């Protein structure tokens, strides 16, 4: 039987299911925006979407191409500034934030700055933090969406752009970050992962349909923890796929990548 969805569609649908109705989320363009749009059109009609450039609670008509796109203000509550959005995070008003990076380690630390050991002469230079460090520091729950391979999932990131649980239990608080916030879920093209409460290390919660444990281990550069029992990620519903394809990403900018 032919597969009725691709890996990108599954990732977006899995991310959308995490966003509860009435919650707040800061998103960027791409997959995070698609997930928020899908959630708002299905299970979370009262989801409050924030954009870093200042759009607050828009009802997105179509996919914006940047965080400052005029569509990020469409029928919104406010057209404000980055300073106000970041202040909302610092005041503990932001439930979720979506982030990504070139590398992630076992404690959810992200690197979007450089590859290499010499900051002045890196092998590869990336765009850097933007607002990612602020969001990961102050939003209650951080969701990471990324492809799953050994170059990304590394034992130690080359540079900590964005703090996860740093070196383990208590490290965030020792660094002066608020207690009770941090990485929450990591969604890849293979699995959905969370973080073990005792060790703060990544734990596999569910495998996507057709994926086995060996595939995940082979594409990870560190030892994973595993939930027991291990679940299977629910596949996208027909309704979610229709909305994603016809309303959220009709030109297949995202879902056409697979």
* Residues that are catalytic: 52
89-111: b (≥16 Cβ within 10 Å) or e = beeeebbbbbbbbbbbbbbbbbb
Task: Catalogue the long-range contacts made by 33-39 (C-beta closer than 8 Å, 24 or more residues apart).
Answer: 33/60, 33/63, 33/64, 34/63, 34/244, 34/248, 34/249, 34/254, 34/255, 35/98, 35/145, 36/60, 36/98, 37/63, 37/247, 37/248, 38/12, 38/13, 38/240, 38/243, 38/244, 38/248
Bridge partners for 232 per DSSP: 207
**Closest to 13 measured CA to CA, from 208, 213, 193, 250:** 208
Q: Where are the beta strands (DSSP E) in 155-239?
A: 182-187, 191-195, 202-207, 225-232
The Cα angle at residue 119 between residues 200 and 28, in degrees rounded to 5: 55
Q: What is the DSSP letter of 53?
A: T
How, if at all, do strands 110-111 and 191-195 pair? unpaired
Bridge partners for 187 per DSSP: 145, 192
Residue 143 C-alpha from the chain's centroid? 4
């Amino acid at each position: 039987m032919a597969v009725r969805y691709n890996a990108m569609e599954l990732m977006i649908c899995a991310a959308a299911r995490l966003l509860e109705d009435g919650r707040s989320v800061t998103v960027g363009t791409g997959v995070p925006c698609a997930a928020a749009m899908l959630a708002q059109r299905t299970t979370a009609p009262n989801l409050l979407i924030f954009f870093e450039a200042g759009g607050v609670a828009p009802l997105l008509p179509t996919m914006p191409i940047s965080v400052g796109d005029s569509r990020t203000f469409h029928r919104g509550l406010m057209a404000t500034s980055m300073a106000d959005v970041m202040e909302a995070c610092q005041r503990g008003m932001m439930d979720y934030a979506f982030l990504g990076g070139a590398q992630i380690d076992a404690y959810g630390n992200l690197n979007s700055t450089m590859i290499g050991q010499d900051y002045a002469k890196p092998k590869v230079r990336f765009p850097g933090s933007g607002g990612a460090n602020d969001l990961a520091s102050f939003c209650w729950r951080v969701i990471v969406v990324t492809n799953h391979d050994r170059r990304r999932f590394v034992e130690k990131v080359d540079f900590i752009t964005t703090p996860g649980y740093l070196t383990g239990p208590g490290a965030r608080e020792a660094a002066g970050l608020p207690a009770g916030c941090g990485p929450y879920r990591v969604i890849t093209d293979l699995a959905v992962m969370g973080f073990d409460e005792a060790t703060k290390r990544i734990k596999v919660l569910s495998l996507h349909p057709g994926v086995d444990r060996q595939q995940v281990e082979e594409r990870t550069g560190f030892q994973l923890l595993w939930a027991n029992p291990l679940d299977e990620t629910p596949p996208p519903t027909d309704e979610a796929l229709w909305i994603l394809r016809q309303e959220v990403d009709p030109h297949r900018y995202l879902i056409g990548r697979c």
